[in-house]
């Protein structure tokens, strides 16, 4: 028998740092709040070893920060439940959240489903994740002071983050599969003018090698000549694309043409009562600190929205 849809004031889809902060703020405003996640709470923080740029902690393990944020949200009264959200239907004053296990009804919905960095899928990538392989220079660049690092990719993110890395690394070698970059002209200009940036063109990125604890080198082959090369490196930063987790929201008309959710500066989408926060938004800096700030705004925004409904 199909169960009755449970009702909440606010349903938050995704229990990463953004979602858990939104839950904290909405629950403290005395709203009934459910965080739904298809994985374990914490989101991308569960894949992060040391976090050194979240204020208040000189260094903290990602899962430990997740536990603390979860305690803040649930101690304030927010509930957490498993649910793979497949779609959201807007009926004005209520929204239906469809999951694989049944439906929920809410007055307001906060989308906090994050994003996923694409992997290149080479040997060593998973083994050295967090031990030298990174998808975020702003997060991990400081671990590679005066070291040789490699950036894989040739788009805006690869070059922007590569330029960022030149501030601490000894050298930054961009390994790219084409014979020219895809990044904006201004970024290319800056990259070519930077003495620390080097470029390997027409390369198939083949393997990340190490001693089991740390990366020692990478291997690539020349697409034109077929020659194999090895390059010493301590860090490998991979920028072959980042994908927003928005398949469940395509019907709402709130996504841009690349699939990111568009909001205003109060985290409101164009659908009244539907907010979006964190990495899933169309924005420049995808970090825990930004997700958390946006979570506060959306939690409070949901409260204001519900007050106005009454």
Catalytic site positions: 136, 139-140
Calpha distance 169→147 (Å, rounded)? 5
The DSSP-derived string for the chain is -PPPPEEEEEEEE--SHHHHHHHHHHHHTT--EEEEESS-TTGGGGG-SEE-SSTT-SSEEHHHHHHHHHHHHHHTT-EEEE--EEEEEE-SS-EEEEETTEEEEEEEEEE---EEEPP---TTTTTTBTTTEES-HHHHGGGGTT-EEEEE--SHHHHHHHHHHTTTSSEEEEE-SSSS--S-HHHHHHHHH-TTEEEE-SEEEEEEEESSSSEEEEEEEETTT--EEEEE-SEEEE-S-EEES-GGGGGGT-B-TTSPBP--TTSB-SSTTEEE-GGGBS-S---HHHHHHHHHHHHHHHHHHHHHH-
Q: Does 89 bind ligand FAD (CB under 6 A)?
A: no
Smallest separation, CB 11 to ligand FAD (Å) = 10
Kindly state whether residue 37 participates in binding ligand FAD, applying the rule CB under 6 A: yes
Among 113, 157, 173, 263, binds ligand FAD (CB under 6 A): 113
CA 174 to chain centroid, in Å, comes to 22
Complex with ligand FAD: residue 139 or 233, whichever CB lies closer: 139
> Can residue 161 be called a binding residue for ligand FAD (CB under 6 A)?
no
Q: How far apart are CA 136 and CA 288, in angstroms?
A: 12
Nearer to ligand FAD, 34 or 172 (CB): 34
Binding mask 261-290 for ligand FAD (x = CB under 6 A): -----------------xxx-----xxxx-
Which is closer to ligand FAD, CB of 229 or CB of 296? 296
Residue 6 CB, shortest distance to ligand FAD, in Å, is: 16
Given 39, 102, 123, 253, the residue binding ligand FAD (CB under 6 A): 39
245 binds ligand FAD (CB under 6 A): yes
Min CB(198)–ligand FAD separation in Å = 25
Q: Which stretch binds ligand FAD (CB under 6 A): 8-16, 27-35, 100-108, 180-188?
A: 8-16
Q: How far is the CB of 220 from ligand FAD (least distance, A)?
A: 22
Question: What is the spatial distance between Cα 69 and Cα 299, in angstroms, rounded to a whole number?
Answer: 14
196 binds ligand FAD (CB under 6 A): no
Give the nearer residue to ligand FAD in terms of CB position, either 224 or 289: 289
Distance CA 20, CA 18 (A): 6
Site string for ligand FAD, 115-154 (x = CB under 6 A): --x-----------------xx--x---------------
Q: Show contacts with ligand FAD in window 210-239 (CB under 6 A).
A: none
Q: Considering beta carbons, is residue 31 or 88 the nearer one to ligand FAD?
A: 88
Query: 32, 10 in Cβ contact below 8 A?
Result: yes
Candidate ranges 1-9, 81-89, 174-182, 225-233; the one touching ligand FAD (CB under 6 A):
81-89
Binding site for ligand FAD (CB under 6 A): 13-19, 36-39, 43-45, 47-48, 51, 53-54, 83-85, 112-114, 117, 135-136, 139, 245, 248, 278-280, 286-289, 291
């Amino acid at each position: 028998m199909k169960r009755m849809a449970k009702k909440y004031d606010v349903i938050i889809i995704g229990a990463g740092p953004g979602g858990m902060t939104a839950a904290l703020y909405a629950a403290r405003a005395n709203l009934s709040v459910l965080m739904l996640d298809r994985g374990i709470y914490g989101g991308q923080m569960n894949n992060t070893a040391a976090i050194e740029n979240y204020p208040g902690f000189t260094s903290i393990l990602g899962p430990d920060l997740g536990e603390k944020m979860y305690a803040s949200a649930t101690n304030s009264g927010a509930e957490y439940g498993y649910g793979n959200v497949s779609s959201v239907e807007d009926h004005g004053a209520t929204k239906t959240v469809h999951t694989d296990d049944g439906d929920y009804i809410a007055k307001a919905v906060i989308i906090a489903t994050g994003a996923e960095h694409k992997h290149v899928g080479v040997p060593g990538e998973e083994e050295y994740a967090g031990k030298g392989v990174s998808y975020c220079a702003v997060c991990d660049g400081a671990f590679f002071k005066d070291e040789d690092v490699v950036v894989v990719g040739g788009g805006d993110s690869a070059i922007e983050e590569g330029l960022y890395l030149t501030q601490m690394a000894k050298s930054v070698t961009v390994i790219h599969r084409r014979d020219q970059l895809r990044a904006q002209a201004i970024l290319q200009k800056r990259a070519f003018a930077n003495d620390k940036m080097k470029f390997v063109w027409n390369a198939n990125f083949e393997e990340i090698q190490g001693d089991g604890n740390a990366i020692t080198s990478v291997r690539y082959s020349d697409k034109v000549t077929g020659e194999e090369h090895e390059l010493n490196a301590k860090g490998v930063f991979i920028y072959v694309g980042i994908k927003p987790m928005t398949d469940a929201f395509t019907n709402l008309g709130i996504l841009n043409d690349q699939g990111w959710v568009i909001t205003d500066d109060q985290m409101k989408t164009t659908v009244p009562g539907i907010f979006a926060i964190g990495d899933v938004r169309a924005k420049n800096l995808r970090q825990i600190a930004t997700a958390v700030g946006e979570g506060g705004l959306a939690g409070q925004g949901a409260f204001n929205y519900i007050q106005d409904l009454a």
